[in-house]
Amino acid sequence: MRIEIAKIEHQTLVGNYDLQSRSWESDGNRYVLHDCAVSYQIYRISETDYHLTERYEGKLDLSCTACLQPFQMDLAEEFSVLLTTLPQGQEGGGTEEGLGDEAELVEGDNIELDRYVVDTVQLNLPMSHLCSPDCKGMCATCGADLNDGPCDCKVEHKDPRWNALESLLDKKE
């Protein structure tokens, strides 16, 4: 969704739109954002500066980091962005309101609202995403999904650092 900068007055411009499905890859994972409804408010702070607030609700398809099964995560977030059309290096850059380095530069005659939603979704992704809080993951030996039940692997939790102490137990018996 694009908004022409020239159409933004000092009163708040309010609207809603549906974000088209987006997909991207990061660190070997594939993400798909879909069914995303967005509402926005934008108003002019000064001749070159704007305040944008967006709220989105949607779904994100991804894979569990423990068991690698695909699942869907519900998303809902609200965020604000300060925008400027005047680069920092130019005279008057940073505005009289003191936005300084906090404002993001808008290049061209349009503000691309979709970009800020997708950027926010990507920034707010957790480092590890589990399909459920009690996900058991995969067997480290055979790769079986432990959520489906235990595997047939014999798991021996023997730490080689204890071998010297075990030899003392053998001598005592």
Q: Given this model, what pLDDT does residue 136 score?
A: 92
Report pLDDT for 103.
85
- Show the tokens assigned to 98: 């003191």
In the three-class reduction of DSSP (H, G, I as helix; E, B as strand; rest coil), residue 142 is classed as coil
Q: What is the rounded distance in angstroms from the CA atom of residue 110 to the CA atom of residue 106?
A: 8
Residues 6 or more apart whose CB falls under 8 angstroms from that of 82 comprise: 45, 49, 50, 51, 52, 99, 102, 103, 104
CB count within 10 Å of CB 12 equals 13
What are the tens digits of pLDDT across the range 81-132?
Answer: 999 988 755 554 444 444 556 788 888 888 999 999 999 999 998 888 899 9
Question: pLDDT tier at 142 (50, 70, 90 boundaries)?
Answer: confident
